[in-house]
Structure 1
Amino acid sequence: MGGAAASIHPSAVVDPSAQIGSDVQIGAFSLVGPDVSIGDGTHIGPHCSISGPTRIGRDNRIHGFAAIGGDPQDKKFAGGRTELVIGDGNTIREFVTINRGTENGGGTTRVGDDNWLLAYVHIAHDCIVGSHCVFSNNATIAGHVEIGDHAILSGFVGVHQFCRIGAHAFIGMGALVNGDVPPFVLVAQEGYGRPRGINSEGLKRRGFDSERIALIKRAYRALYVSGANMVEARGQLSELARDSDDVRALLDFIDSGERPLLR
């Protein structure tokens, strides 16, 4: 255990093999197990559980009663060595659960940088979460889900296993997602979630100019409003992608998927 400047509450239990960086704080009654690495400046609240193998980066804020790095909730899991990797600058609020990967699912659950994971969020085994995302209270993603950068999941969202949500997508409160959501798309709750336009407000806040947004809107109309089938819609997107890297990213997302798009 390294880092002379670390502050560990006397009631916390930290395995001697855990690697603790400088200026780390570990709160009362928290448990840090073996094969855990916690980067400089990360603060762990009270009553947290961090199991390994888990690597946590710098300057994260993990609030009380979070359970990080637990075994995957998968009946096929046979106790093999799998891991959780969390980046830098994340805020992980109360009662969040993030599980390690599975032997046959890639072996690793990953969370990027600067994410806000609010109370009672669940990130299951083998998920890949990008950076700068917001998961509101009780948002839950099943195993093998991939979330792109700057995506927002509102409260009580549920995402089915193996689905992908593209960068800058916005999933509205209570929506149940059972297909791939392309980048930039806004999904609203209606039983199962359905596309309802693009995340224009979010794109404006992130500096997208009117021309970029207009081309993304045209791509959305080709995919969801024109009545074209997928082959025809893809042809329209290919034309638009000549003038827009954003549309090219959307088209690449569609072409790389294995599950049907949410339509």
Structure 2
Amino acid sequence: MSSAEVHSTAIVAPGARLGNGVKVGPFCIVGRNVVLHDRVELVSHVSIDGHTEIGADTQVYPFASIGHKPQDLKYHGEASRLVIGERCTIRESVTINPGTENGGMLTKIGNDCLIMACAHVAHDAIIGNNVIMANYVGIAGHCQIGDNVIFGGTCVIHQFTRIGAHAFIGAQSMVDGDVIPYGMAVGNRATLTGLNLIGLKRRKFDREAIHQLRAAYRQIFASEGTLRERVEDAAELFKNDALVQEVVAFIAAASDRPILLPRNGNAAE
């Protein structure tokens, strides 16, 4: 038997599954296909619907709208899913939509994420672990966000964009190209402004690893040759460096969006 606590003013539809220690606060609404794992807390006035699963120890704050119909005209009621990981914090008025048939049928958010007030995660987005999204961040449909990415306030991320692990996106940026792992992007339209050195140091990356990343960054985004040639050169020069190879693989992978370049970067292929 579940030991969930449901406030007398809340509505939990028959079929919803509530784990042990779940708290459903005043005026919350939980749909029939929702799964709340152990110790999830809906503080108050939270609306959760659709085929939505929320991991253990996640907190959802007032007026969040989770799992409702995607804001996509191509959505026709398919039973797509939304999966939110463990120990996440979802603050006031956040909106998160499930997937669509055209995007893999799944929106997924990893563990230990902080999504601040009024942020939006659109259909078919895949968000990694330990991601921080400040207030009013908008993640468009089909985006892929790596682990440990930090978004400053009021960022907007174009659909199908990839943001590599450990990247930092400055406040008020509009990002319409892929951001390399460990990179930093700022502006409208955003440009690559270097490596996220502060983040790397805070996360205790080895000094030599940071030195190698900086050398590879200068190699990849130099002015001579094409980007493809420079990436191939970096792959060979730093063939034993796992972090550099991660950046190389990210750039080489197929994508719907161009790689974000420094302001003086050479985009020629």
1:225 Cα offset (Å): 3.8
Q: Is the partner of 1:221 in helix, strand or coil?
A: helix
Give me the whole-angstrom Cα distance separating, in 1, the residues matched to 2:189 and 2:211. Answer: 27
1:80 to 78, 81, 91: 78
Match of 1:232 in 2: 229
Which runs of 5 or more structure 1 residues have no equivalent in the other structure?
Answer: none
Give me the whole-angstrom Cα distance separating, in 1, the residues matched to 2:216 and 2:201. Answer: 17
The RMSD of aligned alpha carbons is 1.1
Give me the whole-angstrom Cα distance separating, in 1, the residues matched to 2:253 and 2:13. Answer: 42
What code does the residue aligned with 1:251 have? Answer: V
2:180 to 179, 182, 185: 182
What code does the residue aligned with 1:79 have? Answer: G
Match of 1:171 in 2: 169
Match of 2:65 in 1: 67
1:162 aligns with 2:148: no
1:222 Cα offset (Å): 1.8
Match of 1:211 in 2: 208
Equivalent positions of 1:98-247 (< 5 A) are 98-189=96-187, 191-247=188-244
Match of 2:265 in 1: none
Q: Is the partner of 1:23 in helix, strand or coil?
A: coil
Deviation digits for residues 94-152 of structure 1, max 9, x if unmatched? 00000000012100000000001000110000000000010000010100000000001
Mean CA deviation greater in 226-235 or 61-70? 226-235
Q: Is the partner of 1:238 in helix, strand or coil?
A: helix
Question: TM-score under structure 1 normalisation?
Answer: 0.96
Q: Work out the number of aligned pairs and report it.
A: 260
Give me the whole-angstrom Cα distance separating, in 2, the residues matched to 1:168 and 1:76. Answer: 33
Give me the whole-angstrom Cα distance separating, in 2, the residues matched to 1:91 and 1:60. Answer: 6
Contact 1:222 1:228 in 2 (8 A): no
Match of 1:43 in 2: 41
In percent, how many aligned pairs have the same letter? 42
Which runs of 5 or more structure 2 residues have no equivalent in the other structure?
Answer: 262-269
1:9 aligns with 2:36: no
1:227 Cα offset (Å): 4.2
